[in-house]
Amino acid sequence: MPEIILKNVAKRFGKFVAVDNLNLNIPSNSFITLLGPSGCGKTTTLRMIAGLETPTEGSISIDGKVVFDADKGINLPPNKRDVGFLFQNYALWPHMTVYQNIAFGLENLKWDKKRIQERVKELLEMLRIGQFEKRYPSELSGGQQQRVAIARTLAPGPKVLFMDEPLSNLDAKLRMEMRTELKRLHRDTDSTFVYVTHDQLEAMTLSTKVCIMETGILQQYAPPLEMYNNPANLFVADFMGNPTMNFIDGHLSADGTVSFGGMKARFEAQDPGALRDQDVVVGIRPEYIHIDEDGAVEATVYSTLPSGMETTVKLDVNGASLTAVVFGDVDYPVDAKVKIGFHKAAVIFDKKDGKNIARGKLTLV
């Protein structure tokens, strides 16, 4: 159940900075995801922790042991770090059965036969692939192959499991299923999971904490719901959540009045000390807009996307475009006049640098 600590870790390829001064504390037994758009440095970060890539600067320790230190010249190879990998292309050995695929690594480690048998049996059960033990990979579905790959990775009992987009080859339904499996697996093993994805939903649903990066720079490191409700800046706010948060330019007064999109509201900040007179961006989650008779402002329905469980409604409010999500199978005619209001919390960002100024309740006046 190791803790992983990264201190001032940087990776440069020539002049290009792939990861910039990253400080990260990954607690024991956590499920961390590295999240961000393509090219932001997720795989590079994972590879540095695993020992597959040498950082340019900084230090890394796993379970109290320094595995890398640029200044002291310490750099343990991957096989001395007690870690397991699961990559996007999880190629199983095609000429080996499921059983042999899982046992192979343990035979290499010179485990005795009986111990191997017990361990493989345990994994077959844990991943619910016992009935396939005699089959070859070509006789399995994608999701079953994936589970064999996971079993193979877990077999030697690595203290840390690294996964780089391991579900990206699967269809949506199977991916959903495997997410559930991974989460249970995390509970059933004592391992620390470090998971790479560019899918915000995957990060939200799986992790105990999300590390979101952009162009090699850490943007926020927090539990998923905290990140969703109180994003550090516009980048994080925009990246987390689908449909995305509504962003409306406006102006904040030090007394807490906000004018935006032709509307005026009172903003009760959780931290009123943060408020001063300035240009802002008001961020409102789609599900925090309610459409009903109690609404204080009139809006026009631009279009609706009913999906059964919820309906995404595009609204026009005095020329500003807002997206609302209404739960249940409701629908509105195009061009209908409705009334809207805001519930729960909005977040107000600094227009200049995009940073979160304050979170609070927004009441239309």
Ligand X SMILES: Nc1ncnc2c1ncn2[C@@H]1O[C@H](COP(=O)(O)OP(=O)(O)OP(=O)(O)O)[C@@H](O)[C@H]1O
| Per CB under 6 A, 44 contacts ligand X | yes
For the beta carbon of residue 201, count every other beta carbon within 10 angstroms. 14
Q: How far apart are CA 152 and CA 145, in angstroms?
A: 10
Q: With CA atoms as reference, report the closest residue to 22 among 37, 4, 38, 2.
A: 4
Stretch of 42-50, 246-254, 272-280, 319-327 lying at the interface with ligand X (CB under 6 A): 42-50
Stretch of 33-41, 135-143, 305-313, 318-326 lying at the interface with ligand X (CB under 6 A): 33-41
Stretch of 36-44, 47-55, 109-117, 319-327 lying at the interface with Mg ion (CB under 5 A): 36-44
Least CB distance to ligand X at residue 247 (A): 24
| Per CB under 6 A, 40 contacts ligand X | yes
Stretch of 10-18, 66-74, 92-100, 101-109 lying at the interface with ligand X (CB under 6 A): 10-18
Site string for Mg ion, 269-308 (x = CB under 5 A): ----------------------------------------
Amino acid symbol at 25: N
Classified as helix, coil or strand, 277 is coil
Query: Out of 43, 59, 146, 219, which residue is the one contacting Mg ion (CB under 5 A)?
Result: 43
Residue 18 binding partner per list ligand X, Mg ion, none, with a CB distance cut-off of 5 to 8 Å that depends on partner kind: ligand X
Q: How far apart are CA 271 and CA 290, in angstroms?
A: 25
Q: Segment 181-220, which members bind ligand X (CB under 6 A)?
A: 198
Joined tokens for residue 301: 């329905």
For the beta carbon of residue 178, count every other beta carbon within 10 angstroms. 19
Q: Segment 93-152, which members bind ligand X (CB under 6 A)?
A: none
Residue number of the CB closest to Mg ion reads: 43
The gap from C-alpha 132 to its chain's centroid, in whole angstroms, comes to: 32
Least CB distance to ligand X at residue 57 (A): 15
Q: How far apart are CA 290 and CA 304, in angstroms?
A: 14
Half-sphere exposure of 252 (CA within 13 A, CB side): 26
Residue 40 binding partner per list ligand X, Mg ion, none, with a CB distance cut-off of 5 to 8 Å that depends on partner kind: ligand X
Q: Are strands 263-269 and 356-364 parallel, antiparallel or unpaired?
A: antiparallel
Q: At what angle do helices 98-108 and 142-154 cross, to 10 degrees?
A: 20
Q: Which C-beta is closer to ligand X: that of 13 or that of 93?
A: 13
Q: Which residues contact Mg ion by CB under 5 A? A: 43
Q: Which residues contact ligand X by CB under 6 A? A: 13, 16, 18, 36, 38-44, 198
